[in-house]
Structures are given as C-alpha cells and as structure tokens.
Amino acid sequence: LFPGVRQAQWLTKTKLVEGLPPAVQGIVDNPAHGLQELEERAKQAVSHARLWDTAEVAPRRERYCPVLFENLIHICRLMSGKYPSLSKRMLARNCRIAATWERESILLQVRGLSGILMNSTTPIPPVASKEEILATKEHVLETFYPIAPTIDLQEVNVYKELNDTGQCFGDGYPYSHPHTLFFLESANVRTDRFRPEQLRAKMLMFAFGNALAKAKALHGDDPKVLEQPVVVQSIGTDGQLFQFMVFQLNTTDLVSNDGVKNLVWIDSDQNLYEKAQCVPEVKKRVVTKPAGISGFQPDTFKKFLALYLHGTV
Amino acid sequence: MAALGARRLLQPGRRWFSETVSGAPSPPASPLYPPVVASVTAKSKAAKSRRLQRFNERVHAAATVEEKLRLYGKLQRPKYMVYPQTFALNADRWYRSFTKTVLVPGMPPRAAAAKLPVAAAGTTPEDGRVPNPGAEAPRAVEAPGTAEAPAAAKTPEPAAGAAPYLDMGELRSLACDALLQESFYQNKKRPFLYRDQDHTPGPFLTQLVSTLAAFLSGRNPLLAASSLDLNPEVNYYWHHGEEVVVHGHRKGRVDPVRFQIDDNPHLQIRVPKQLPKVVPLESDLGDVPVIDHKPSKLPLFKKQYENKVFTGSKVADPCCYGHTQFHLLPDKLKRERFIRERLEDQIEVVYRSNGIASLFAWTAAQAMYQGFWSEADVTRPFVSQAVVTDGKYFAFFCYQLNTLALTAETIKNNPRKNICWGTDSKPLYDVVEDGNVKGFNDEVLLQLVRFLLNRPKEL
C-alpha cells in the first residue's frame, strides 16, 4: 500500500539519491563506447521481442518480457569483443537469496527467488566518495509514525538464521561478487505484476540482501562500518518500463538509527519505447498507426548498457 | 425442348447455306475464341491438373512473402507429424528419404581445412580459483598442444590473417566455468522427475553458447550482428510423394503425402547474412535411401492442423538466415535407456535424425522466407549448422539445402539432392567431481568454436 521505497529505506537504513550515480552517468555520456551504433541493434531487439518472435500475431508478456531481456543482454554481452574483461561474468538464474539482519530490535529477513543474478570475478568499485558516505551520518531516516515500519511484512518464526547469498553458491566459486540483479515482471495479468513503486522496493530489498550477505562473507558477521563498501546494481522491468538502481552498502551496523547510512541511487520509470503496434491500426480504410515500434528511447538502453559495463570500464 | 433444339439447329443451318464463302480469311488481330483448356470444376484428371496449375500461378503471383506462405499452407488436410527427436528405429534413413538428403559422415572439407591458429600449451588456464584444475588441464592439453605447436609455428602469419592466436586456455576455462557453475556451485533443488535435462545440461548449454558467442564476436563480425533465440519455434510443411486416400469421403483419390515438422531447438543463432555454400548446387555426394513402405510404418502419425512455416521469427526480421542451432536431447532418449534395451546402434541414429530433420526444416523455412518454394526452386544453396547434445556428448551437423522441389511432379526431373554432413557423438568431458572437470576434450570445444566462427568470405 505504501510508497514502498520509503519503507524499504527505513528497513535497510538507506539514503535515497535520485538519478544515476555520476560514474554510471559518465559511461552513458562517454562517446568512446560506441553507444550510438548500438541504437539500431537495440531497436531491432525490441522489435524482435515485441513483434516478430512468435508465429501468432502478437506475443504475450510472459513471452516477450524474457525475450526482450535476453536480446538486450545479448547485445551487451557482444561488447566483450571490445572489452575482453567483460567475459568474466556469469549469469545465474533462479538463485535463492537469504539474508538476516536486525533493525532496532526487530529481526528482519529477506528470502526468496531473486530473479536473475549476474556475477563477476571483480567487485564494483564504490560509487560514492568517502565524504558522501560520512555525510549520510547527518541524514535522518524517515519514520512513519504512527505506522510501524514493519507493516505489510510477513511475520514468521525463524528457527535458523540463514545468511547465504547462500549464496546459492558453494565455496571457491570464481564469480563471487554479485554485480547486477534483474527482475522481470512478466505475468500476463496486470494484477499479478508488481507496480513500479513496489518493484523498486523489491529491487532495493534484494539488492540489500545480496550486498549484506556478501559483506558478511567478506568481513564477518560483526556489525560495523565497511572500509570497502559493497556495490550491487539492480534493474527491473515489465517489458516496457525500466527501473535502474545502484545500491552501496556502507555499513552492516543496522541496529541503531544513526551513524553512517547506506546509499541508493534510483532512476525510475524509464520507458524504452512508447508503443509496439503488431498489426497496423486502420480506421475507415486509412492506416492511422503503422505496424512497428514507436517512440523508441535510446537513452534507456544506454543506461542499461552502462550499468552492464560498470565495474569493468 | 426437342422442338426448340431442332429449331436452333435449323437456324444456323439456314445461315450456313445462305452465306456465301467470304473472301480471303483475314487473320484476326486476336484469337476469336478463348484457348481450349480443361475445365476447372469437372471431376477429371485434366481438371485437377488445371486447378493445380491455377494454384501455382496464384502463389507465383503473390505480392509479398507472407501472402505466399499463407497461400502455400492454406489447404489443411491430414499430414504426418515428423518429430526430429524420436525413438523410432532407423529413423534417420526414413527422414533422409522424406527430405531427399544425402548423409556424408564427418565434417565438410572447408571446416576441417581451416586450421585455426591455436595457442600452444604455454598458456595455462587461470589456476588458484578452483582447487587444481591446472593439474588436469595441461596434462589433457599436452598431447594435442605439442602436436599443434609445430603446426602453429609453421603457419605463416598472413595465412592466419590479422587474427591473433585463439586462446584455447581461455575458451577451456569459460567452458569449465559454465559447467561447474551449473553442476556444482549453484545450489539447486533436486531435479524434477524425468526432467534431468532442464536441471543441469540445459542451463549449461545456454551459458556455454552465450559466453562463447560473446567471446568470439570480436573475431566474427557476423556474430556481432547476430540474434540469439532461447527456445524458439521452427516449423516447416512440405509434400513428398503420392498416396491413395484410404478411407473417408475422399477415398480412392491420389493425394500428395504431406509432412510437417514442429521443432523446438534449445537455442539458435540467426544472422543477417547467409553462410557460404560448402559444395556447388548440383553436386552429388551419395545416394538417397529409398523406402518402399508407407511413412506410417515408421511409426509416423497423421493429424490435421495449421500448416506453419516459421524460422524462429517473422519475415520482417533482418536476421533471416540461420547460423547455428543447439538441440538438447530429452530424458526419454538418453543413452542409458538405449543401452538397457540393447539398442546401442540406435544412439547415433537419434543424433542423426535430430540433425537432419531440424536442419532441413530450418533451411527450407529460410528459403521460403526468401520466396522460393517447391515450384520455384532455390537458386543458391542455403547452409546452416547444428549441434545436438545431451549435455555431455556432442554431435555436429552441417546441412546444405540444394532443392525444395520434393513434390511428386517436381521431383521427377530434379537431379539435385540436399546434403548433410554429420559426426558421431563425442563426450566433452568425462566427469565432474569436487569442482574439477576431468577428461576435458579439446577437440569437441574446437569444433564448436569453428562452428561459431563460420562466416561468409567477405567478412
């Protein structure tokens, strides 16, 4: 019910910054990466996913959302011809994530299938400078008095406090740093899908969970301020609208309400295209809307690619 | 009626008598009477052939390819459903006779001759990550490595082109990483009953192909413009041979035998430019098996439904030519089952029939997307490749479509045959235990890499 991101912020002790961090924005604006030529390919990818993929007239969302995602990832992966270190990434589907933490004497846990995770061998360097991190000390977390912050959360009796990004991965896994999480809202029925606000909250919680588990694996279980902040990115989409998020975990000391906070940059509600017309719309024998993709926004794809390249470029 | 008829006979008769024969017959500018042709609606063989001819003219005259495909598959009748992945005994002989294909064992000559410069055993894969893979891998690569090294050293630099050496170690580590992630590192739930293939080999194949394709896209510009489909649909509908309708209201009529392939490869790569031909269009590399029995003896069953022709995406897609398909064999066709039933020789048949049927359907659908069909035969050969695997054993196939004319009339004077090159299945690795891949076979990986690097000469 709630502006879910604000609740998620309180639960994860995070400060919100609108827009993408300057490092990622720099990759978007940098012409050396050849993002212009990829526009045409991105448009073809969208057309393929929305128009051409099936022998029927129009593919359904359950089909075109994953196909669109695969096509975009394929274009991004092909950049590894140019940047060989991009091949040090691995996609993992259907991984289960579990992380536990305490927040003002309430024990919280994040569990579940977290969509598609991309791992890499090298961690993403911290996005915010030390000053910004220290500046978050002054930031006061919003409380929702009189509504308890744990509203709408399921209360469960937890017998085992699990802490694995459990990863869903054993030891010695070479691609041990979570890089980006992808969430695809591909249910056909609108009510089964998350609304953008809820999707952003879900992305934040899972990114936080992954980052926390990684931090605990690296630095141990004691709550403290991290020397090397852990950065995890997250992209959520329903096939047309994209939400981009970069989360930086600065501290695992989550019990108290003050001190250094975590940071999250959110770029929300980016449309990749306006409308995908499968059959031309004809009114009174005149074609009003031709078939095809209209209103293609290359910037959204550039941001997608920039988040993919972030950390290796 | 009779009186009327008599009067009518009289009138022209009178005119005939009264008319004097006119002067020299002036040659008419256009024929006075329309050409005498068979009727369209009569129940006769001539009428039937006239109807067929009119249908052919309609398809020839269709404005767009979509219209052509629509007319081609408009009439629905019961047809045999051909499954590329089948347990039928000796299915590959039957499929070859249905599609007029010659099977040539081994790989086509150009693929074997293109000796890729491979980095010698000097580059060891990155070790220290997984507890000693390095100990296994150099030993495995030692023997082929030392054989390669003198060959690579002798290959002059210009022949290798501007491409640097292909780093076998890098590729091997990519493949091993994909394998280990899927089978060892990722904690998955237990596989569902009889769904083993979706649990491990499926994701492994997806990972392997996507990472290899991305890695090799720097060398192969065709891959850089390619489109990767996951779980696409490939359909093709064709006629071959004739039979007499057995029962029903159409009993006794001579009908073409109709076939339909509906295939779901695990993965396919489509490209905007066609792969180069392997041998000229009219080459004859062997014989097509002739089978005297009805197709239903295979066993093959008939059903009537939509006649689809589909390559994986619609005609409007710029990536309309096929490059490589990857097929995953289901649990029903795993090797242990065949060995248990003492049918070891059928294991290879499974791979071959899958390769032939799927590739025929794909190349023929690509040809139809370019406007060719059984009455308008292809003017250039269509080439595609496929890899059939069950997760561990890989078999490679390359298909060249030379002719689409398989119907009873068009096959009479058609000397062309389709050609399929295929290998036997070889294992990629022996076993995975404790974070190690034991017995990794570089040959298989190299063949896969050669497949992915295949491109037209201009690029």
pLDDT score for B288: 93
In angstroms, rounded to a whole number, what is the distance separating the alpha carbons of residues A96 and A166?
Answer: 8
Check pLDDT > 70 for residue B146: no
The single residue listed with the structure tokens 């290798």 is: B160
B103: left (phi over 0), alpha (psi -120 to 50) or beta: beta
In angstroms, rounded to a whole number, what is the distance separating the alpha carbons of residues B217 and B452?
Answer: 9
Nearest CB to A174; choose among B177, B217, B316 = B177
Q: What is the pLDDT of residues A21-60, one digit of tens each?
A: 888 888 888 777 667 778 888 898 999 999 998 888 888 8
- Rounded mean pLDDT, A130-147: 72
Asked whether residue B139 is assigned to any structural domain, the reply reads: no
Helix-helix angle A61-78:A298-309, to 10 degrees: 60
Confidence of residue A229 (pLDDT cuts 50, 70, 90): confident
Nearest Cα of chain A lies from the Cα of B192 at a distance, in angstroms, of: 15
User: How high does pLDDT run on average in chain A?
Assistant: 80
Asked whether residue B415 is assigned to any structural domain, the reply reads: yes
> Which residues in chain B are closer than 8 Å to A70, comparing Cβ atoms?
228, 230
Asked whether residue B429 is assigned to any structural domain, the reply reads: yes
> Which residues in chain A are closer than 8 Å to B435, comparing Cβ atoms?
170, 172
pLDDT score for A197: 85
Asked whether residue B37 is assigned to any structural domain, the reply reads: no
Q: Which residues contact B429 (CB under 8 A, 6 or more apart)?
A: B179, B392, B437, B438, B439, B440, B441
Dig out the tokens for B226 from the structure: 């390619």
Asked whether residue B11 is assigned to any structural domain, the reply reads: no
> Which residues in chain B are closer than 8 Å to A169, comparing Cβ atoms?
185-187
Check pLDDT > 60 for residue B361: yes
pLDDT score for A135: 76
Q: How many distinct structural domains can be found in chain B?
A: 1
Asked whether residue B212 is assigned to any structural domain, the reply reads: yes
Asked whether residue B231 is assigned to any structural domain, the reply reads: yes
Q: What is the pLDDT of residues A232-242, one digit of tens each?
A: 888 988 888 99
- Candidates A267, A190, A262; CA nearest to A235 is A267
Confidence of residue B182 (pLDDT cuts 50, 70, 90): confident
The bridge status of strand B79-82 relative to strand B302-303 is: antiparallel
Q: What is the domain range of residue B171?
A: 60-107+167-453
Confidence of residue B72 (pLDDT cuts 50, 70, 90): very high
Q: How far is CA B384 from CA A109, B268, B270, B326, B396, in A?
A: 51, 11, 10, 11, 11
Q: Which of B172, B180, B227 to substitute to test the interface with A, most A CBs within 10 Å? A: B227
In angstroms, rounded to a whole number, what is the distance separating the alpha carbons of residues B244 and B52?
Answer: 17
pLDDT score for B13: 47
pLDDT score for B188: 72
Check pLDDT > 70 for residue B130: no
Dig out the tokens for A136 from the structure: 């978050």
pLDDT score for B380: 93
User: How high does pLDDT run on average in chain B?
Assistant: 82
A96 contacts B181? CB cut-off 8 A: no
The residue in chain A having the minimum alpha-carbon distance to the alpha carbon of residue B173 is: A88
Check pLDDT > 90 for residue A156: no
Confidence of residue B150 (pLDDT cuts 50, 70, 90): very low
